[in-house]
Structure 1
Amino acid sequence: MADRLYTSLEADEILSGLRFDTKLEKVVLARIAFALSLSIDGSNVKMSNDFSGGEMKRPTFVASDELYLKTLLSFVHKKADIEEDEFYSNKSYIKSHIDNGCKHLSRIFDECNHNSELLLKRLTEKIEFSGRKELLGQGLDLFIGKTLLDKKELTLELNNTKKHANSHLAIMGKPGVGKTQFLLKMLADIRRQSNYQTNFIFFDYKGDVVENQKFLEVAKVQTYRLLQGNQNLPINPFMLPDYEEQTINVSAREKAESFASISTKFGVVQKGALTEAIRAAYAKRADSKLPFPDFQDILAIANEMYEEDNKKDDSLIEVLRDLADFDLFWKHGSDVQPIDKLSNRTILIDVHAMPVLKELVGYLVIERLYKEMAALPDSPINDGKRTIRTILVIDEAHNYLGQKNIFLERIIREGRSKGIVVFFASQSPNDYQQKFFNFQELLEFTYIFQCEGVSSSSMQDILGCGGKTAKDLQTEVARLEPFQVISRSQEKTAEFVKFTAEPFYKNY
């Protein structure tokens, strides 16, 4: 990993001259030049091959903004992952943008007749060079609609810790009533209001969101269409924070439990065999540069084990073969590096074309997110607003809620302090009544669109209303018009509120 780069001679001369005129440090001017180049030329920047200028050390230029800068470069250059040499080195995007941006700085300075005050005024109109708008933990107050009777505007204060215990949310309703449009509007608002610092991981079960180009553009989403073309997830489920024997053993057992929770055919024998195969695969990769296996490794070892014991193929081999043959996850020999962190990405995983394994793919990604979350420090709180780092968005959630997904449960229980939030979209409040885990109890925000067959007990738990109100609302919910919603009231004097939800298409 390079810890410094050298600008072009021309850039160094421009920075030195402007430092004298503006009284700004060279690194500040270099960051201005970088931002100028990004905003003016973007991905069309020419790579710079002149290294004869001044030294620019990585800690000085990058400071604490590495994640932010990588996200910017990833978006501008349309790359899912920015490698180290591409990020900060003499062959990096940052160097090329600094050298290119210095030319723009010099041009603007000439246009300002070498008046430094006028230069700074022009720059503030062009870019926010003095620091991006730090809205992390602030500004996530979302306009969600107007009440039906008096047209009063409703605001969702998503991360207000003074009012709400957590930020977990569920949207419920049958297909075609507007719940997806409502969800997309909230996600787009969150991305913009957080200055794209709050991320989300979206499981698109039906494949309709991945086709909404406007949403993908507004929210700046990287999409992965599984089983469509040659695209897979650049995620390796076997990456660990360390590769000590105990860590590997725990992870292997957890993977076996994950598989068993998805497949009813997965018994004690299969769990034991999978645990052993995973441990052996780690041992085989122990001395390599990337000390973690892929599903091809696991399948090969499991096949060997079965052949040695003269065992016939069973549900374990079937699942492993599908995971390996469908090429769903990153594997050794891939042209790209696996994503090292999920929690700082905004991605949409389109699983609608998969005939099988939808839930298992979701399970493995959720497990990976939880492991990252557990290692994060608590997210900061500013004036009662907690920073939301990442939102896990699960569409068609009824397909997941019935599983005993221990990692999803842990994210819901423990995610509040880490700034990790879960958004569900499902067809009925009944979906959240699971005997093994009380999802309803931990959902702070619930929005019910038109539903049929909703039990009064489910309605009562979801809205926190009385029994009589819940029974009355059973009929009311079944008769709601598209985009009409019933949710908990923000007023203490009312048990619920009925409003018209704001759709994405109306706002963007």
Structure 2
Amino acid sequence: MADRLYTSQKTDEIISTFRALSKLDKAIIARMAFVISLVENGKNVARSSDFSGGEMKRTSFIANDEIFLKTLINQVYQSDIADDNEFYSNKSIIKDHVDNGALLLWQIFQKNGEDINQWYSEIVASIKLSGNRDVKTKDLDIFIGRSVLQNNDFIMSLNDTTKHANSHLAIMGKPGVGKTQFLLKILADVRVQSNHQTNFIFFDYKGDVVENETFIDVTRARTYKLLQNSESLPISPFILPTYTEQDIQLSAREKAESFSSINSKFGVVQKGAMTQVIIAGYESRANSDKPFPDFSDLLQIASALYEEEGKNDDTLIEVLRDLANFNLFWSHGSAVPPIDKISNRTMIIDVHKMPVLKELVGYLVIERLYKEMTTLPDSQIKDGRRTIRTILVIDEAHNYLSQKNIFLEKIIREGRSKGIVVFFASQSPSDYQQKFFNFQELLEFSYIFQCDGASAKEIQDILGCSAKTAKDLQTEISRLEPFQVISRGMSKTDEFAKFVGEAFYKNY
């Protein structure tokens, strides 16, 4: 039985290129090549006689899926594999399909302008799933640190409904105290412990997470660096579950409110015009296979409307022009179709290069996630454990929480039953108590790193401790060492707990 094969030189070069660009394992890319060739070429695949490329060990490629892979081949070839060398060797079916499939992957890459994200999106978009593919319930008991005095393990039971009302989480602390590393450790553990079935959408406001190659490898996240290398999100904010007149009008009004809440110069007149323009955008695409507009459509319609009415450009035109020209979202004519669902994707959206529109991009993606959430069935509960589908992660949340985002509020209120969870990272406990919405009341997990100026009332509200204990903790919180954390007590008799948080870089 052969325990390895050697790809062609060209295949080795292609796989190495995709490995460097996508951060996917070589074995995963080789499997992708095998599958795409099996689908495209079937049993008519060309024989490969070039063995001068890289080594592909049997254990790496096959892992625990030998029966599954043999079943696929038998189904396509309509006959049983004669011997093991026909299955995996330098003269095997797998070798032929890997080498031929690599060329097919490369053709897709070239077709998409050698843009790795568009390449990946086209491949994912071509996958057709059938049947019940919902994630299965997992025990998400996350090791987050050890107590300062007793050195006891601290375990966060993220999806245990017998202990916690929801799974929303907030981490707060000044820069440089370890909160981002703590957050990344939790996210990485969730991905690994759920077998990568629980996803996350991460808004990276500093641009440091998107550059963490180890984190991207561990979590298998796709990265989108907006305003860098002409990269855009393959997401349309205008996709709706249904396109009735009422749905379109409601969506148009909601988006106009969204723009108004983000931009103080967006007044009543602009909101009315925006609503009118969006409705016209849907009408212009009503008879197409994608019955929703993009921002170029809206800019064209708005410009024509203003010219007809003799109006000068204002905030509405400026915002639409930026959204269209910056190419932030999917647009008609793109070589890659828009993502059908975002709740089953793990992605890091880097907005740190954007001088404006950071919050608006976040708002539109969150709105899309909420609209999708409402169509999902309730997530499964087994033995008290609820399936978590997706975690919405907002870093540097103090820049965002002051914006009145009705969809974020709805996700926090309604997401529990759908398995949609929100994680925040910000600088102060005060960020979560806004006049229009008290986020703190619905945050089940709260972790305080070193903070300056936290009031006793804020500490009391977060920890649920007495006023005296909160006052005593004010000074201690301001003097915490990096990675030291104050949280709610681990038992009913403890008013608070103090532990040393785990860092991602120490665990992965």
TM-score normalised per structure 1? 0.78
Q: Write the distance in 2 (CA, Å) between the matches of 1:329 and 1:217.
A: 25
Q: Quick one: structure 1 residues 444 and 312, their matched pair in 2 at CA, closer, same or farther if it must change by over 3 Å?
A: same
Q: Write the distance in 2 (CA, Å) between the matches of 1:271 and 1:43.
A: 55
Q: Write the distance in 2 (CA, Å) between the matches of 1:10 and 1:41.
A: 10
| Aligned-residue offset at 1:138 | 1.5
Q: Which of 93, 99, 121 is residue 80 of structure 1 equivalent to?
A: 121
1:115-142 C-alpha deviation (Å, 9 max, x unpaired): xxxxxxxxxxxxxxxxx9x983212100
Q: Quick one: structure 1 residues 236 and 46, their matched pair in 2 at CA, closer, same or farther if it must change by over 3 Å?
A: same
- The answer to whether the aligner puts 1:333 opposite 2:333 as a matched pair is yes
Amino acid paired to 2:343: S
Instruction: Give the 5 Å matches for 1:283-302.
Output: 283-302=283-302
Equivalent in the alignment of 2:140: 140
Amino acid paired to 2:413: R
1:374-404 C-alpha deviation (Å, 9 max, x unpaired): 1000000011100000000000001111111
Q: Is the 8 A contact 2:485 2:501 kept in 1?
A: yes
Q: Is the 8 A contact 2:303 2:317 kept in 1?
A: yes
Q: Write the distance in 1 (CA, Å) between the matches of 2:148 and 2:75.
A: 53
| Aligned-residue offset at 1:41 | 7.6
| Aligned-residue offset at 1:5 | 8.5
| Aligned-residue offset at 1:301 | 0.7
1:183-209 C-alpha deviation (Å, 9 max, x unpaired): 000000000000000000000001010
Q: Write the distance in 2 (CA, Å) between the matches of 1:278 and 1:76.
A: 28
Q: Is the 8 A contact 1:42 1:76 kept in 2?
A: no
RMSD: 3.0
- Which consecutive residues of structure 1, in runs of 5 or more, have no partner in the other structure? 12-21, 50-74, 90-131
| Aligned-residue offset at 1:87 | 3.4
| Aligned-residue offset at 1:311 | 1.1
Amino acid paired to 1:345: R
Q: Write the distance in 2 (CA, Å) between the matches of 1:408 and 1:266.
A: 20
Q: Quick one: structure 1 residues 150 and 444, their matched pair in 2 at CA, closer, same or farther if it must change by over 3 Å?
A: same
Equivalent in the alignment of 1:257: 257
Equivalent in the alignment of 2:401: 401
- The answer to whether the aligner puts 1:47 opposite 2:101 as a matched pair is yes
Equivalent in the alignment of 1:367: 367
| Aligned-residue offset at 1:457 | 1.1
Amino acid paired to 2:302: A
Q: Quick one: structure 1 residues 358 and 169, their matched pair in 2 at CA, closer, same or farther if it must change by over 3 Å?
A: same
Q: Quick one: structure 1 residues 78 and 474, their matched pair in 2 at CA, closer, same or farther if it must change by over 3 Å?
A: farther
Q: Is the 8 A contact 1:43 1:77 kept in 2?
A: no
| Aligned-residue offset at 1:77 | 12
Amino acid paired to 2:123: I
Q: Quick one: structure 1 residues 453 and 44, their matched pair in 2 at CA, closer, same or farther if it must change by over 3 Å?
A: farther
- The answer to whether the aligner puts 1:221 opposite 2:225 as a matched pair is no
| Aligned-residue offset at 1:83 | 5.8
Equivalent in the alignment of 1:65: none
Q: Write the distance in 1 (CA, Å) between the matches of 2:406 and 2:147.
A: 38
Equivalent in the alignment of 2:152: 152
Instruction: Give the 5 Å matches for 1:355-504.
Output: 355-504=355-504
Q: Quick one: structure 1 residues 287 and 36, their matched pair in 2 at CA, closer, same or farther if it must change by over 3 Å?
A: farther
Instruction: Give the 5 Å matches for 1:29-68.
Output: 44-47=98-101
Equivalent in the alignment of 1:269: 269
Q: Is the 8 A contact 2:118 2:336 kept in 1?
A: no
Q: Quick one: structure 1 residues 172 and 140, their matched pair in 2 at CA, closer, same or farther if it must change by over 3 Å?
A: same
Instruction: Tell me the percent identity.
Output: 66
Equivalent in the alignment of 1:64: none
Q: Is the 8 A contact 2:45 2:100 kept in 1?
A: no
Amino acid paired to 1:183: L
**What secondary structure sits across from 2:101 in the alignment?**
coil
TM-score normalised per structure 2? 0.78
Q: Quick one: structure 1 residues 76 and 261, their matched pair in 2 at CA, closer, same or farther if it must change by over 3 Å?
A: closer
Instruction: Give the 5 Å matches for 1:162-311.
Output: 162-311=162-311
| Aligned-residue offset at 1:82 | 2.7
Q: Quick one: structure 1 residues 451 and 265, their matched pair in 2 at CA, closer, same or farther if it must change by over 3 Å?
A: same
Q: Is the 8 A contact 2:135 2:198 kept in 1?
A: no
| Aligned-residue offset at 1:247 | 0.6
Equivalent in the alignment of 2:313: 313
- The answer to whether the aligner puts 1:8 opposite 2:62 as a matched pair is no
Amino acid paired to 1:87: I
**What secondary structure sits across from 1:450 in the alignment?**
coil
Q: Write the distance in 1 (CA, Å) between the matches of 2:484 and 2:398.
A: 21
Amino acid paired to 2:361: V
Instruction: Tell me the matched-pair count.
Output: 423
Amino acid paired to 1:8: K
